[in-house]
């Protein structure tokens, strides 16, 4: 599973001769609680990325703020996001997402999108 090490900061370097050696960068749409995107990649169920509380209507889950991501074809996805920039290109065949352990799972996403691109210089998602 990539990265092979738990990320502990928004800029994290894996050293040595492993296949995934290099520097990883994480970022997020909002970070109101010092709970940055690296928490989504730290391999722990005790920590978590936390977006702004008022971003979603609690009764139905609709997004009410303005953060978004757009694809090159013009599709706009509203919502909070986390991002990881990896030093290597991989073929993603699966991923795992776990809910917060200290709150009900009703705070987990009902609908989410996994987007990727092969280069930060590319506008194609």
- Is the pLDDT assigned to residue 68 strictly greater than 80? yes
Quote the CA–CA distance of 125 and 121 in Å, as a whole number: 11
The pLDDT tens digits of the residues spanning 36-53 come to 899 889 988 888 888 887
**What confidence score (pLDDT) does residue 104 get?**
64
What CA–CA distance (Å, rounded) separates 38 from 25? 8
Total of domains in the chain: 1
pLDDT tens for each residue of 96-120: 887 777 766 666 777 888 888 776 6
Q: Which residue has the higher pLDDT, 20 or 72?
A: 20
**Residue 12 sits in which domain range?**
1-125
């Amino acid at each position: 599973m990539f990265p092979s090490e738990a990320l502990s900061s928004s800029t994290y370097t894996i050293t040595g001769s492993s296949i995934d050696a290099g520097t990883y960068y994480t970022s997020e749409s909002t970070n109101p609680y010092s709970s940055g995107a690296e928490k989504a990649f730290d391999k722990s169920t005790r920590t978590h990325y936390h977006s702004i509380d008022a971003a979603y209507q609690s009764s139905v889950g609709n997004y009410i703020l303005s953060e978004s991501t757009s694809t090159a074809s013009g599709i706009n996805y509203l919502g909070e996001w986390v991002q990881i920039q990896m030093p290597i290109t991989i073929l993603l065949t699966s991923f795992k997402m776990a809910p917060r352990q200290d709150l009900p799972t009703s705070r987990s996403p009902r609908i989410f999108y996994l987007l990727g691109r092969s280069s930060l210089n590319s506008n194609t998602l």
